[in-house]
Structure 1
Amino acid sequence: MTTTAACIEATSAGADLTKGTVTRRDLRADDCLIEIRWSGICHSDIHTVNGDWPHDNFPMAPGHEIIGTVRDTGADVTRYSVGDIVGIGCMVDSCGECASCTAGEENYCLNGMTGTYNSVDRHDGSITQGGYSTHIVCREDFLIRMPEVAGGLDSERMAAMTPLLCAGITTYSPLKHWGVGPGSRVAVVGMGGLGHVAVKIATALGAEVTVFSHGLSKEDDGLRFGASSYVATGGDAADTFHKAHADEFDLILNTVSAALPIHRYISMLAPDGTLVMLGLPPEGMNIRANQLTGRRRSVAGSNIGGIAQTQEMIDFCAEHGITAEIELIAADGVNDAYRRVLGSEVRYRAVIDANTI
């Protein structure tokens, strides 16, 4: 039977979020009903709610960083049982048949993966509703098994793993794809919700990590997270920061969703180096071809990761003690958290206590 769940929802673009309800579908044979405990706030939630990425799917419950407990299962579910602690990331379905899906890269489904919220359910045409809610229904194939931690589901450590279901896989996937390991020289541009996790994961993989950030206010944190150096790119350094790092990095992860002088970052790539776009600036990029041909450099993009790789990432982070740095908030603090994220005041990810919805 359907489940009516309390939620936090956006009723129109740019409006404050309010409490409401969503109806979760009847369980299909391969579905699990999840009681949500923690839900992270991603910057993409804010872009979607504010209409920066235009759509008309209101009212809408955002949220694609979710941890909770299995409360019911469909008839054909075999991998999970009632009581299991699971995570849900940015997608809840895909076609399962295309070359990308059969390769375990559902995130690149050639027929379009189904996002956790603000996406069209490929079975019934409804709009998916996300994790700012008390319950959610998801196919078992898109669930992530969460590791055991002291204190279980209610521990702050489990809460701090919630953002890994987006920020973790978004940074882990390109680090693995481009073969980062001991001896790799990695730069992370921006040290917000994505960037701070990238520093931790790249360090754990054995890389030498440098952070490039507008200012030095987060330098102590960056070094504590494992970076070997931290470089300011704003103010008096704006035109010169790159010169001391020419031809240095094997991989640069750009986590910033604002326009940057991209040619300066390309100049810091070593021969065969790659600059990977993770942030989504609305402006186009002006790339000088001779910067690429002269060193056989590349500019690339990466979008989360497949389910198997997301499970690999969670297990890797658990093994290495990696979590996000978080602020726990109650449901009635969501609008203030949005404003503080936009003001770069949250260090470094806000997580909603779903018990307060």
Structure 2
Amino acid sequence: MTDIAEPRTSGGVAITAPRRPRLPYPLVLPVLAALVAVAATAGIAAGSVGVPAGEVWGILAHRLHPALADPTWTPVRETIVIDVRLPRVLLCGVVGAGLSVCGMALQALVRNPLADPMLLGVSSGATVGAVVVVVFGLTLFGPFSLPLAAFCGALAALVAVYLLAHSGGRMTTVRLVLAGVATAEVLSAVASYLVVTSDDPHAAESALRWMLGGLGGTTWDLLPIPAAAVLAGTAVLLGVSRPLNLLLAGEEAAAALGLTVHRFRAAMFVLVALMIGTMVAVSGSIGFVGLIMPHIVRLLVGADHRRALPAAALLGAAFLIVADLAARTLISPEEIPVGIITALVGGPFFLWLMRRRAAS
């Protein structure tokens, strides 16, 4: 697959195949990695108790090996950095990277630049599962009750969307989008009903804040599962970069080059939905990250998924870390759900993108 291809049309929809990157690719990744490091440092340093950036790196180096830095800080600051802020920042990076990668994959799979990880209704399914646990106080599996319920809700939504979209042995893009939107609306209504009719005001408020997305109270125990899911899922998507590139040129062209489009698309939908469900289980419903980041990445490195997916992961990680930092500090000591921050940024971007497509 070359880096330059002419735009094509299929069914009246403009399709853009992979283009030549606008910046040297070896330069882009180190810059994005540095951006993640800067964002992570700021995310760990800022808060109700400020920690200098140099001290942050000293604490981290000392934890890696005591000989790397002399402990000139107080034990309280070390606890704040290691046990409170570091796991939260790492989870922000994991979720931001995962949402961005899933968004880029979905936009290729459905050949629609307006698609994002909420398209399949999986986020709404996870939300219903989590709200049930919060509202009814279910603790059968201890601290893992909420993530497990959210994951089961995501899987249930995936099955519902797949069954609704699959007809006659085939699954079309239009049917998939309609099934995803309808399922998401129904599940969102169910979650809202559970919150409104709850007899426990505290539980209802907690469920509402979770629905808006947030990473408050993150601990090390919550990090391994989503991190493993995002790393494994991203590795698989990198392994199928060529088929994803083929889909950008159209289903007919991809089929002519030997790709079994419907089988490949179904498998990728399952993979992406499982990734999204795992992330939503620990972060709540965070929108627009998977919509914005892929478009910015395509401007930087082109649409070839071999190059775009790693860049999307880094940019998404940096973006969500910064968004979470803003959510924690804008009205400190209160905290804004990070989903509100991403919506305030993503909403205008979505409207601009729609107008741009309408004018083209």
Q: Structure 2-normalised TM-score?
A: 0.26
Higher relative contact order (CA 8 A, sep 6+): 2
The structure where strand makes up a greater share of residues is: 1
